[in-house]
C-alpha cells in the first residue's frame, strides 16, 4: 500500500490569522468575557482549543449573524474568518461591544470589490446558501444577488452593469459552470472569480492525482472547502473519497485492499490531525493491524 501525502494541505493564511487573533485576544484580556460570533473556522477541534482559552461561542446554523448577536450583551465579540456585514458591525457597536475582527483578508477583498461595484451596478454572487461568508457578503447591499445554482438566474431580470464574483471556498469546476451560465444571460458582465489561492491549490493538487484508489480528506463536515475536496476527487476519477474529522472516523473497509491512498485536508484542519491519519495508514500498511488510537490521544493537539 502506497500512502500519498497531498501537498498543499492544512491551515491557510486566513485561518492562521484568525486563530492567532483569537489566542492573542484571550491572552491580552484575562478575566474579560470574550465571545466568538459563530465558529472561528469550520473545525470542531479548533473550536475546542479556543474554548480551552476561555472563549465562548454562539452558533446556530438556523440563525443569521445579526440574530446570534442578540445573545451577546457584554465584553468582546470576535468576528470569524468568514467576514461580517456592515449591519452586524453597526449592531455590535450600538450594543457597546468591543469588536475584534478576524475576517480573512481574501474575504475582506471581496467585500471591497462588491461595495465599489454596487455604486454603479448589480452583483451576481455565487455562493452557498446560509454559509456565513455568503451571508456576510450578500448582506452588504440589495444589489448583490446570491446564486447557488443556475436556475436562480431565472428569478432575476433587469440587472444593470453586472459583476460576477463568488465565495472564496467553492469548487473550481462547479463555479465555472455557474459563471458560464451567468455570462450566457449577461454576456457583457465583468467576471472576477474570488476563489482563494489556498482553495484553488488544494483542489488542483487533487485533480492531478493519478492511479489513486482512494482519497481521504481530513476536515470538519461543516467545512465547505473540505467538502469540495471530496467532490473534486470524483471529478478527477478517483473511485472512493471519504471526509473524516479525525483518524477516529477511519474504518478498515475504507482502506482494505487499496494499493494507493492519498490524504489531504481542508484549509481549516490542524496539520496534527492530518499527520495522525497518514501515520496510522503507514502503520496499517506495514503491519496489517487496524487498531485506532484512543480518543484522548487524538484530542491532545
Query: Which residues are catalytic, by number?
Result: 133
CB 217 within 8 A of CB 177: no
- Give the containing element (helix H, strand E) for 110: helix 105-117
Of 113, 46, 114, 56, nearest in space to 81 by CA: 46
CA 29 – CA 216 distance, rounded (Å)? 39
Tell me the chain's radius of gyration from C-alpha atoms.
21
- Give the containing element (helix H, strand E) for 136: helix 132-138
For residue 196 the three cell numbers come to: 482563494
Of 276, 213, 219, nearest in space to 244 by CA: 219
For residue 198 the three cell numbers come to: 489556498
CA 189 – CA 94 distance, rounded (Å)? 38
CB 247 within 8 A of CB 277: yes
Of 46, 2, 55, 48, nearest in space to 25 by CA: 55
CA 264 – CA 34 distance, rounded (Å)? 33
CA 275 – CA 265 distance, rounded (Å)? 10
Residue 8, preceding peptide bond in cis (omega within 30° of 0): yes
**Chain centroid to CA 108:** 15
Amino acid at each position: 500500500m502506497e500512502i500519498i501525502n497531498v501537498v498543499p494541505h492544512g491551515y491557510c493564511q486566513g485561518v492562521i490569522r484568525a486563530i492567532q487573533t483569537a489566542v492573542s485576544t484571550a491572552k491580552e484580556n484575562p478575566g474579560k468575557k470574550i465571545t466568538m460570533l459563530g465558529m472561528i473556522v469550520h473545525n470542531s477541534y479548533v473550536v475546542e482549543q479556543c474554548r480551552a482559552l476561555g472563549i465562548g461561542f454562539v452558533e446556530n446554523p438556523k440563525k443569521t449573524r445579526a440574530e446570534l448577536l442578540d445573545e451577546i450583551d457584554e465584553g468582546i465579540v470576535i468576528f470569524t474568518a468568514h467576514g461580517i456585514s456592515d449591519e452586524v458591525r453597526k449592531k455590535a457597536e450600538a450594543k457597546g461591544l468591543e469588536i475584534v475582527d478576524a475576517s480573512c483578508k481574501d474575504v475582506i477583498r471581496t467585500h471591497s470589490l462588491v461595495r465599489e461595484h454596487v455604486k454603479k451596478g448589480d452583483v451576481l454572487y455565487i455562493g452557498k446558501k446560509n454559509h456565513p461568508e455568503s451571508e456576510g457578503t450578500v448582506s452588504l447591499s440589495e444589489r448583490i444577488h446570491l446564486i447557488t445554482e443556475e436556475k436562480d438566474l431565472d428569478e432575476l431580470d433587469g440587472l444593470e452593469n453586472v459583476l460576477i464574483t463568488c465565495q472564496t471556498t467553492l469548487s473550481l469546476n462547479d463555479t465555472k459552470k455557474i459563471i458560464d451560465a451567468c455570462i450566457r444571460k449577461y454576456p457583457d458582465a465583468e467576471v472576477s472569480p474570488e476563489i482563494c489561492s489556498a482553495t484553488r491549490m488544494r483542489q488542483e493538487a487533487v485533480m492531478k492525482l493519478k492511479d489513486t484508489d482512494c482519497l481521504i480528506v481530513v476536515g470538519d463536515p461543516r467545512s465547505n472547502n473540505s467538502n469540495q475536496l471530496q467532490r473534486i476527487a470524483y471529478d478527477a476519477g478517483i473511485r472512493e473519497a471519504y471526509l473524516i474529522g479525525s483518524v477516529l472516523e477511519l474504518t478498515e473497509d475504507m482502506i482494505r485492499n487499496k494499493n494507493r491512498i492519498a490524504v489531504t485536508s481542508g484549509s481549516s484542519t490542524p496539520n496534527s490531525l492530518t499527520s495522525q491519519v497518514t501515520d496510522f495508514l503507514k502503520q496499517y500498511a506495514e503491519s496489517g493491524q487496524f487498531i485506532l488510537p484512543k480518543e484522548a490521544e487524538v484530542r491532545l493537539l
